[in-house]
Amino acid sequence: MTDWKAEAERLDKADPLARYRGDFLLDDDLAYLDGNSLGALPRATPARIEGVVQEEWGKGLISSWNTANWIDLPQRVGAKIAPLVGAHENEIVVADSVSVNLFKLISAALSMRDGRKVVLSEPGNFPTDLYMIDGLEGQGLAQRRLAERDGIEAALDNDVALLLLTHVHYKSGEMFDMARLTKAAHDAGALVLWDLSHSVGAVPVDLNGAGADFAVGCGYKYLNGGPGAPGFAFVAQRHHDGLQQPLSGWMGHAKPFEFSDDYRPAPGVDQLLCGTPPILSMSALEVGVDLMTGIGIDALVKKSRQLSEFTRAAMAQALPELPCISPDEPERRGSQLSFRHDHAYELCQALIARKVIGDFRAPDILRLGFAPAYVRFADCWRAVSELRDILESGEWQKAEYAERAPVT
């Protein structure tokens, strides 16, 4: 039997990323394994936000659009995200939410595949991805088709305009082979839109290497942009000229301050800007992104895999009664592991009471996420050992752990 506690200590000591935990505001006794839902607060963020609020807004007032370069934030932060996902700097812009960006890019894809209306996805995809297809279906512009993941390639027929998949599944952690599915879609004459919400900053993503057409991603998970941070959108350079999408707001106009009556899209991804961007939230996102690019994606990926692999092995040995539904091979999963249990909700609450924060996904999944910038191997071992204790002692049966909060 492996001494997992000693092994965790050994790995933490050897961890080249260990020093980055101090860049986040996290109590030493907190095992935060939910950075895949809401990333931790970078220590540099409060000062930056105070500066944006007090100096830029408070003192600079309206002039800060120019003097503090608020106007360039969407492109600047987009360019910084680019190296994390294998994109060129001019292919990404930060704007709105993931949901709104999905709407723009599904629309853009449909307009490039005249005569085809089917948007193909998988059942159980993150809901907002499916709902945004529904929205366009309600407009009569799209037709939703779902195929189980092993049937996706077979479902790619001549009616499919777009394949829309979440690269790393939010619930199972399973990761698609981006290059293979992109090629399959292209072979069928369809375009591909990848949702990188559970990927960016934690797993290897090479959008251009895979030949991807479109992508969206989330700012508040591994990018540590804060609650409800704006999302980002990627459009491959070869599609910039023909790009067309219906959320044609004034900030996406070629010359917004000409106040013309007629919409003329800005070049490239700039047309994906719609309304005035939320500067406070976007500034916080920039701090989080700077931290991730400072560490570098290769080091992040390497540690992410070590963390999840350590946890998977320790859980399998210590708690074989809790089946892991995530793939066994690190290169086939994201930076998370999901375990099935009939009382996953109660287990999760009991863990939280012990300062081990994971989360629950209905109906029966306990999800542990491994944000490589600040999670320690000792945190992973604590999750395993506390969980074993909670199960063996029956503590999870306490009535208080069954009470449901509005957001679970």
Measure the CA–CA gap between 333 and 105, rounded to whole angstroms. Answer: 25
Whether 98 contacts 126, CB under 8 Å: no
State yes or no: 311 annotated in a binding site: no
Check binding of 393 to its own copies (CB under 8 A).
Answer: no
Amino acid code (one letter) for 288: G
Check binding of 370 to its own copies (CB under 8 A).
Answer: no
Check binding of 22 to its own copies (CB under 8 A).
Answer: no
At closest approach, how far in Å is the CB of 408 from its own copies? 5
Measure the CA–CA gap between 279 and 76, rounded to whole angstroms. Answer: 13
State yes or no: 15 annotated in a binding site: no
Secondary structure letter of residue 56 according to DSSP: I
State yes or no: 276 annotated in a binding site: yes
Check binding of 96 to its own copies (CB under 8 A).
Answer: yes
Check binding of 44 to its own copies (CB under 8 A).
Answer: no
Q: Residue 191: CB partners within 8 Å, gap ≥ 6?
A: 109, 112, 113, 161, 162, 163, 185, 213, 214
* Active-site annotation holds for 20: no
At closest approach, how far in Å is the CB of 214 from its own copies? 17
* Active-site annotation holds for 170: no
**β-strands 356-357, 31-32 pairing:** parallel
At closest approach, how far in Å is the CB of 182 from its own copies? 24
Q: Which of 112, 352, 353, 378 lies at the binding interface for its own copies (CB under 8 A)?
A: 352
Strand blocks (E) in 310-352: 336-340
Check binding of 99 to its own copies (CB under 8 A).
Answer: yes
At closest approach, how far in Å is the CB of 79 from its own copies? 17
* Active-site annotation holds for 220: yes
Q: Which of 11, 87, 92, 98 lies at the binding interface for its own copies (CB under 8 A)?
A: 98
Whether 399 contacts 367, CB under 8 Å: no
Check binding of 268 to its own copies (CB under 8 A).
Answer: no
Helices (H), 88-155: 98-112, 127-138, 152-155
- At residue 86, φ and ψ (nearest 5 deg) are 70, 40
Which entry of 80, 312, 333, 367 is annotated as an active-site residue? 367
**β-strands 359-361, 356-357 pairing:** unpaired
Instruction: Count the site residues for its own copies by CB under 8 A.
Output: 94
**β-strands 231-235, 336-340 pairing:** unpaired
Q: Which of 208, 244, 302, 391 lies at the binding interface for its own copies (CB under 8 A)?
A: 244
Tell me whether residue 141 is exposed, middle or buried, using C-beta atoms within 10 angstroms of its C-beta: 0 to 12, 13 to 18, 19 or more: middle
Which entry of 104, 221, 312, 333 is annotated as an active-site residue? 221
Q: Which of 3, 114, 259, 342 lies at the binding interface for its own copies (CB under 8 A)?
A: 259
Per-residue b or e along 37-63, where b marks 16 or more CB atoms closer than 10 Å to that residue's CB = bbbbbbebbeeebeebeeebbeebeee
Measure the CA–CA gap between 351 and 30, rounded to whole angstroms. Answer: 11
Q: Which of 150, 298, 321, 362 lies at the binding interface for its own copies (CB under 8 A)?
A: 362
Choose the stretch contacting its own copies; rule: CB under 8 A; options: 5-13, 29-37, 159-167, 233-241. Answer: 29-37
* Active-site annotation holds for 221: yes
At closest approach, how far in Å is the CB of 302 from its own copies? 25
Q: Which of 282, 289, 301, 383 lies at the binding interface for its own copies (CB under 8 A)?
A: 282
Check binding of 131 to its own copies (CB under 8 A).
Answer: yes
What amino acid positions are annotated as catalytic residues?
126, 195, 220-221, 367
Binding-site residues, in ranges, read: 99, 126-129, 166, 195, 198, 220, 250, 276
